[in-house]
């Protein structure tokens, strides 16, 4: 049998570099800040880091609008800093995954500056350009995720260009072979430097419908989705034609061929489509992406039934691929605020980490989850996110989950000697790393204990999964690998619960994980609030 790839069952720690640690005193985190905290990250017991964009950018969307994908923005440091980070991470046994944004660039990118000049230049067709309708309006009804039409007028060409996100983020035209080759060249640049893989932002947005057909309307009852409500007109459409086109499968095969020339490298695709679970299964089947993740567990819905049904649905569809799960990231409200319902606590924080890290697949965990951070409530005048500014107050944007990491009791919680780019909430200051590291009962200490314990239970990293049909609020499932059968049980409520154990095996309690656990009376478990229980079939 071939060796199991490192990324299967791995825990990947997401770093939002702007908010991790500032070492040069400008109020913004940087690459040297990550280097300085690699020992801290390694001590968490994670396997890899994923670093959000640090490339040259005008920062209209805080790095996801890239002007030069093969250089480091001076705000974050230099290429030499990145090379040092890579070496230092590898020396600690940490793999390094970086963001790539294939579908669009910044309007400041050299490619777009050339493309927008006229209709005859060498890169004239590298972006999605279209003529106006006879009445001068955009070519179709497509909408931007950030609100309003997905088309902006360019007077120099007398045409509209497509932007699925901000107007300063024009979409590349992947129907053009030279575009695909250039994007893959960007990936090779970083692979040659030694990165271990890529998190591919909005990977299903690379292609658009070549016929530019209108998206159909969505009925009011169906107007919900990631990060937006019916207040955002984006929710008014089924997005059948502006993303997730069949041609993208061919590009994913081209991408995989590049990755295969770098053994051990991995791709993780971010997928947000009308049926994200089906798209995840399709994109990870055959010789395409190694892993995919979507936003099904990044919603406000939190109960055993929803989690069980979601994972079961993916398992039924993903017969070939490998999933990656996340319950927090830089785009959504922090999980303790989404799922805490007023009961946020270190116990619940550790339970949620254990839950997501016990599902079949790999896991992305977001910086600050280990500290039990909640969503920061920021006043309008403190907002920096264009998404939140546009939709305030119905949607407050993404700044609340992007506030700086609290490290110490010092000024600005040890994040920076200068005024931070976003304020450090007072409730986060008391949860700082220094305090929690000195407290054996803190969320951080519990997080570390669980992650190191998980590494010693192969079934939780590599096994198949089978759910028990339990009543709310109990979620229970079995993981089985190489003859090891492990039962994981979680009480998701802030009240007591009970569970009758399966009687087809004798269950031996697994401890050492440090979580709040249950008591057993015969075949019945007594589960206190937010308890977790693990056992092995004997």
Q: Residue 1's pLDDT is what?
A: 37
Provide Rg for the chain, Cα atoms: 23
Half-sphere exposure of 132 (CA within 13 A, CB side): 11
- Whether residues 126 and 184 share a domain: the answer is no
**Domain match, 316 and 279 both:** yes
Q: Are both 165 and 192 inside the same structural domain? A: no
- Of the residues 454, 474, 495, the one at which a domain ends: 454
Q: Pick the catalytic residue: 173, 201, 369, 375?
A: 201
Q: How far apart are CA 174 and CA 185, in angstroms?
A: 14
Q: Is residue 482 part of a domain?
A: yes
Same domain membership, residue 88 and residue 141: no
> What does the pLDDT read at residue 225?
59
From the centroid of its chain, how far is CA 29? Answer: 19
**234 domain-assigned:** no
Asked, for residue 222, whether it belongs to a domain, the answer is no
| CATH number, position 379 | 3.20.20.80
- Domain with residue 530: its CATH number is 2.60.40.1180
Q: Which residues 6+ apart lie within 8 Å of 275 measured at CB?
A: none
Residue-level pLDDT at 223: 85
User: Is residue 197 domain-resident?
Assistant: yes
Give the domain extent around 467.
Answer: 463-537
pLDDT in tens, 359-375: 999 999 999 999 999 99
Which residues, including other chains, have CB under 8 Å from residue 533's CB and lie 6 or more apart?
487, 488, 489, 490, 509, 517, 518, 525, 527
Helix intervals (H) in 38-176: 38-43, 79-91, 110-115
* Residue 68 annotated to the active site: no
417 and 359 co-located in one domain: yes
In whole angstroms, what is the distance from residue 387 CA to residue 333 CA?
Answer: 13
Same domain, yes or no: 514 and 368: no
Angle at 182 between CA 180 and CA 188, to 5 degrees: 105
Q: Has residue 219 been placed in a domain? A: no
Which residues does 479 contact at the CB level (< 8 Å), separation at least 6?
358, 360, 459, 460, 463, 464, 465, 485, 486, 488
Residues 279 and 359 in one domain: yes
Please check whether residues 435 and 423 belong to one and the same domain.
Answer: yes
pLDDT at residue 338 in the model: 94
344 and 279 inside one domain: yes
Q: In terms of domains, do 151 and 272 share one?
A: no
> What residues pair up with 249 in beta bridges, in sequence order?
none
To the query of whether residue 201 is one of the catalytic residues in this protein, the response is: yes
What is residue 228's predicted lDDT score, i.e. its pLDDT? 53
Instruction: Please answer whether residues 364 and 325 qualify as being in contact, where contact means their C-beta atoms are separated by less than 8 angstroms.
Output: yes
**pLDDT tens-digit map of 428-441:** 999 999 999 999 99
pTM above 0.95, yes or no: yes
- Tally of domains in the chain: 3
Domain boundary among 388, 420, 454: 454
45 phi, psi to nearest 5 deg = 90, 20
Same domain, 449 and 344: yes
Name, in order, each residue with C-beta under 8 angstroms of 236's C-beta and a sequence gap of 6 or more.
143, 217, 218, 223, 230
Residues 65, 173, 270, 375: which is the catalytic one?
Answer: 270
Low-confidence stretches of the chain (pLDDT < 70) are: 1-2, 225-230
């Amino acid at each position: 049998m071939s060796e199991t790839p490192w990324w299967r069952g791995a825990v990947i720690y997401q770093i939002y570099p702007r908010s991790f640690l500032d070492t040069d005193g400008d109020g913004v985190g940087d690459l040297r800040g990550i280097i300085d905290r690699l020992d801290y990250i390694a001590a968490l017991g994670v396997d890899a880091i994923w670093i959000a964009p640090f490339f040259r950018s005008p920062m209209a969307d805080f790095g996801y609008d890239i002007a030069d994908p093969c250089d480091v923005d001076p705000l974050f440091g230099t290429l030499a800093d990145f090379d040092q980070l890579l070496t230092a991470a590898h020396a600690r046994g940490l793999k390094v995954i970086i963001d790539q944004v294939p579908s669009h660039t910044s309007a400041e990118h050299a490619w777009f500056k050339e493309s927008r000049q006229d209709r005859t230049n060498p890169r004239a067709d590298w972006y999605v350009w279209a003529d106006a309708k006879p009445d001068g309006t955009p070519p179709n009804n497509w909408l931007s995720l950030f609100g309003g039409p997905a088309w902006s007028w360019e007077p120099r060409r007398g045409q509209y260009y497509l932007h699925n996100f901000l107007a300063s983020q024009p979409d590349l035209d992947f129907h053009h072979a030279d575009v695909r080759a250039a994007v893959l060249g960007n990936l090779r640049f970083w692979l040659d430097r030694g990165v271990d893989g890529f998190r591919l932002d909005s990977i299903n947005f690379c292609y658009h419908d070549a016929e530019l057909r209108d998206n159909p309307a969505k009925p009011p009852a169906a107007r919900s989705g990631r990060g937006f409500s019916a207040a955002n007109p984006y929710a008014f459409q089924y997005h059948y034609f502006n993303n997730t086109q069949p041609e993208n499968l061919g590009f994913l095969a081209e991408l995989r061929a590049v990755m295969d020339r770098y053994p051990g490298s991995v791709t993780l695709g971010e997928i947000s489509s009308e049926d994200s679970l089906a798209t995840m299964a399709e994109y990870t089947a055959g010789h395409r992406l190694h892993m995919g993740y979507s936003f099904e567990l990044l919603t406000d819905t939190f109960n055993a039934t929803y989690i069980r049904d979601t994972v079961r649905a993916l398992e039924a569809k993903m017969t070939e691929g490998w999933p990656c799960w996340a319950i927090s990231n830089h785009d959504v409200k922090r999980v303790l605020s989404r799922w805490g319902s007023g009961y946020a606590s270190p116990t619940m924080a550790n339970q949620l980490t254990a839950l997501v890290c016990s599902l079949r697949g790999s896991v992305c965990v977001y910086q600050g989850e280990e500290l039990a951070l909640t969503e920061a409530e920021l006043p309008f005048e403190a907002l920096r996110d264009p998404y939140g500014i546009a939709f305030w107050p119905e949607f407050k944007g993404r700044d609340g989950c992007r506030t700086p990491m609290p490290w110490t009791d010092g000024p600005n919680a040890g994040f920076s000697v200068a005024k931070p780019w976003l304020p450090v909430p007072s409730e986060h200051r008391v949860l700082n790393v220094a305090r929690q590291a000195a407290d054996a009962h803190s969320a951080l200490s519990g997080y570390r204990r669980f992650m190191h314990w998980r590494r010693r239970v192969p079934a939780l990293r590599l096994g198949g999964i089978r759910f028990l049909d339990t009543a709310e609020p109990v979620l229970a499932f079995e993981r089985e690998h190489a003859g090891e059968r492990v039962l994981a049980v979680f009480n998701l409520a802030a009240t007591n619960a009970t569970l009758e154990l399966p009687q087809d095996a004798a269950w031996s309690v697994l401890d050492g994980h440090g979580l709040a656990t249950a008591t057993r009376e015969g075949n019945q478990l007594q589960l206190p609030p937010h308890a977790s229980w693990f056992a092995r079939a004997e």
